[in-house]
Amino acid sequence: MNVLTFGQAEPVARRLRELRGQAPQRSLDARALAALAANPGCRRRAVLDAAGVDKGAVADRLGHPAPFGQSPFAITRGNVFEARLKDDGYAALLEPLRRLRGAPPEGGELAVPDLLPRSAPATRAERTAQALAEAAADPGRWTLLDHPMLRLTVAGSPAYLEPDAVVVHGGRCTVVEIKSFPIIDGSADPAKVGAAARQAAVYVLALQETAAALAGSTADQSPYAADDFPGSPELGVLLVCPRDFSNRPTATVVDVRRELATTRRQLARLTGIEQLLDALPPGTSFDLAPDQAGVPTRPAAELAVAVEAVPAAYSPDCLSTCELGFHCRAQARCEDAVEQLGRGVRGELGSLRTVTAALAAAEHAADSADDEAAARLSHAAALRAEALGAAR
């Protein structure tokens, strides 16, 4: 990953502010970072996320709002569950930790340092690093970092990440991911567990870099190697969820080495943000120009030109991970692009870039003999016609 010096970072930060316009900056959280890592070729998302643009507001203005994100009910339920874990000195959270990590005995001291929750992200990240160093220096002490702030450089731009909790003991730390979906009879929804693992892997990566920076070194790039720096994270995270249909917590260890390897590899493929900015047309801005009531006034057509000046790498997966997914799908359909059919189909079609060209190749076998993908399409079309004829 590219790291900018201070002299380089200031012009880049200024250009990102110009792209964002008057709107407040949206933080790049672990959920968004995991989605970005899953599609590293999407320059559109990389630029808008680096600039802190509210992609949901942009999608609304473009006329393609996305039913994206958690429902208010799920958010409320998650907040209630997390608040319950913190009652009585985090007693409910320590219960599953004792079973899985041998946490302090009943009545044992648990340090919970003040991480300056009302400060700016950069200040909170510095305070978190300081608290992590102090906790790791005392191996016999248990420390719980409640909503710490971690800093991770992504394509030359800083991202600030906030895990639910980090437990430090024995000179190492463990990410605690609190989710409101239930674990019923010892199992949970695999899709939700997978999403939680991908999100937690981002936190582990940030903690690896934080611990390495505190030691004046660099983190081991192998996902199967646990760094020996003080404060380095374990490669298994604690997933804490409600047990069955109650609000009693239960925890399980989730190995995130595979997700960590994928995230590190994909983030390393991201082009440096300064290179992406240099490729933008002069005057490009994603400013919605809101009025005094906060209602956007910028013409949708003008905003669409700015958004489409940044190349996208659309696939149907984007509909569930990106606020701009429905706009990019509409663009892909207008362009007749094969990307609308998915990455697998796009890879199989080779040089055929439009759906119309693929259908034409399937219908004209003689003209497609010199192209392998087209030849396969025409052969498949012939087999389909033969099968339908036999059925009739």
Cβ proximity of 234 and 173 under 8 Å: yes
Backbone φ, ψ for residue 80 (5° rounding): -65, -45
Q: In 3-state terms, what secondary structure has residue 243?
A: strand
Residue 286 corresponds to which tokens in the numbers above? 């994603």
pLDDT of residue 168: 93
Closest CA to 34 of 19, 45, 47, 23: 45
Closest CA to 101 of 165, 190, 184: 165
Cβ proximity of 71 and 239 under 8 Å: no
CA-to-CA separations, 111 to 88, 167, 168, in angstroms, rounded: 14, 10, 10
The percentage of the chain sitting over the pLDDT mark of 90, rounded to a whole number, equals 45
Bridging pattern class, strands 157-161 and 165-169: unpaired
> Which residues of the chain carry a pLDDT beneath 70?
1-10, 68-70, 103-108, 223-224, 365-370, 391-392
Bridging pattern class, strands 110-111 and 142-146: parallel
- Rounded Cα distance between 148 and 210, Å, is 12
Cβ proximity of 117 and 201 under 8 Å: no
Closest CA to 59 of 343, 336, 318: 318
Q: In 3-state terms, what secondary structure has residue 172?
A: strand
Closest CA to 62 of 50, 52, 48: 48
Strand partners, 255: 236
Name 87's Cβ contacts closer than 8 Å, sequence gap at least 6.
Answer: none
- Rounded Cα distance between 251 and 243, Å, is 9
Instruction: Please give the model's pTM, rounded to 2 decimal places.
Output: 0.77
- Say which DSSP state 377 is in: H
pLDDT of residue 103: 66
pLDDT of residue 186: 84
Alpha helices in 149-239 (DSSP H): 190-214
Residue range 290-329, pLDDT digits in tens: 998 989 999 999 999 999 999 999 999 899 889 999 999 9
Q: DSSP letter string over 122-153?
A: HHHHHHHHHHHHHHHT-TT-EEEEES--EEEE
- Rounded Cα distance between 235 and 200, Å, is 10
Bridging pattern class, strands 172-178 and 236-242: parallel
pLDDT of residue 296: 93
Return the C-alpha torsion angle 374, 380, 384, 386, nearest 10.
Answer: 100
